[in-house]
Amino acid sequence: MSRQIGDVILDLQSISLRFGGVKALTDISFDIREHEVRAIIGPNGAGKSSMLNVINGVYHPQDGKILYRGVERKKMEPHMAASTGIARTFQNIALFKGMSVLDNIMTGRTLKMKSNLLLQALWFGPAQKEELEHRRKVEEIIDFLEIQHIRKTPVGRLPYGLQKRVDLGRALAMEPQILLLDEPMAGMNVEEKQDMCRFILDVNDQFGTTIVLIEHDMGVVMDISDRVVVLDYGKKIGDGLPDEVRANPEVIKAYLGAGH
């Protein structure tokens, strides 16, 4: 692949997160480079989703620093993360079940809408022009994800694999710089997984989007990630290229189990 992996875009330094007495994350440091596919793996309860939540500002770590493009990030709310270009999908799909695919993806454009509510409601002047522009963008995403046939179908009626794809579409509508994917392939069959892998790689390749993903399927992780960080009981036990991680005895012991 010819895509150039750039400088560090997000640097996490000594992150610790506690919920009361429970230590979710302990002294974790790793970085994410621009345009790379970065995987976070680990057994159940290792702190992977907590890590994502720290990155997009849902949780606020008690210790540690987060540098975004070299600037230290203050305590922030999720919508602030979103406006700085970080989008995510959720392990349990978070879409509006009664709304069409098109409208769901359109919600991803909310932050980009500039005209005021009244004009939008009246479908007048600049609001009209703006919406046409957003619609074009959404249609491009629909085309990209090959979901034209369900454009007008309510999301609640779609099979799981397609809902996941719509979820990805909604995140892409933000035109994010960093895309956080929380188990994008959980519960999918082999074919759906292959499709999803292809879309993730295409996003990364065509838009240059940096991708951070949590995934359980080791085959997928090893195939599509540039670098992998391994968590276990809230601690980092490995970090590096897929092959290095695979060879790391501690990772094998903690994650893959003794038998592998």
Partner 1 sequence: MPTQANFSSLDGLHTFPRLLFHHAKTRPDAPAMREKSLGIWQTWSWADVADRVRALACGLAALGFKRGDNLAIIGDNRPHLYMMMTAAQCLGGVPVPLYQDAVANEMLFVLQDAGVRFVVVEDQEQVDKMLEVKDQVTTLEQIVYDDPRGMRHYNQVFLHDIHELMEMGRIHDRNHPDFLNTEVEKGHFDDVSVMLYTSGTTGKPKGVCQTHAAFIAAAQGGVQVDKMTADGDILSYLPMAWVGDHLFSFAQAMVAGFTINCPESAETVMTDLREIGPTYYFAPPRVFESLLTSVMIRMEDAGQIKQKLFHHFMAVAKRCGGDILDGKPVAAADRFQYWLGNLLIYGPLRNVLGMSRIKVAYTAGAAIGPELFAFYRSIGINLKQLYGQTETCAYVCLQPDGQVKSDTVGAPAPGVEIKIADNGEVLVKGPMLLKEYYKRPDATAETINPEGWFMTGDAGFIDEDGHLKIIDRAKDVGKLANGAMFAPNYIENKLKFFQHIKEAVCFGHDRAEVCAFINIDVGAVGNWAERRNIAYSGYADLAGKAQVLELIKTCIEEVNASLAHDAMVADSQIHRFLVLHKELDPDDDELTRTRKVRRNFIAEKYKVLIDALYEGKTNQYIETEVKFEDGRRGKVAADLKIIDVKTFPVARKAA
Residues that bind partner 1 (CB under 8 A): 1-2, 135-136, 139-140, 142-144, 146, 148-149, 151-152, 202, 205-206
Supply the minimum distance, in Å, between the C-beta of residue 186 and partner 1: 24
Tokens 């929380």 correspond to what residue?
182
What letter represents residue 111's amino acid?
A: L
State in angstroms the smallest separation of the CB of 2 from partner 1.
5
Distances from the Cα of 135 to the Cαs of 80, 102, 108, 131, in angstroms?
24, 9, 11, 6
Question: Which CB, 175 or 205, lies closer to partner 1?
Answer: 205
The beta strand positions in the chain, using DSSP E, are 8-19, 22-33, 37-41, 63-68, 71-72, 86-89, 178-182, 210-214, 227-232, 235-240
- Looking at the Cβ atoms of 130 and 139, the one nearer to partner 1 is 139
Instruction: Give me the phi and psi of 44, to 5 degrees please.
Output: -55, 140
Shortest separation between residue 98's beta carbon and partner 1, angstroms: 19
In the bound state with partner 1, the residue whose beta carbon lies nearer, of 69 and 135, is 135
Smaller CB distance to partner 1: residue 63 or 223? 223
Residue 143 or 243 having the CB closest to partner 1: 143
CB-based contact 185:217 (threshold 8 Å): yes
The C-alpha atoms of residue 221 and residue 121 are separated, in whole angstroms, by 44
Name the H helices within 84-189: 101-107, 117-122, 126-144, 160-172
- The Cα–Cα gap between 29 and 239 comes to 10
Query: Taking the complex as a whole, how short is the minimal distance between the CB of residue 158 and partner 1, in angstroms?
Result: 13
CB of 148 to partner 1, least distance (A): 5
Give the residue with the Cβ less far from partner 1, 63 or 140: 140
In whole angstroms, the minimum distance from the beta carbon of 172 to partner 1 comes to 15
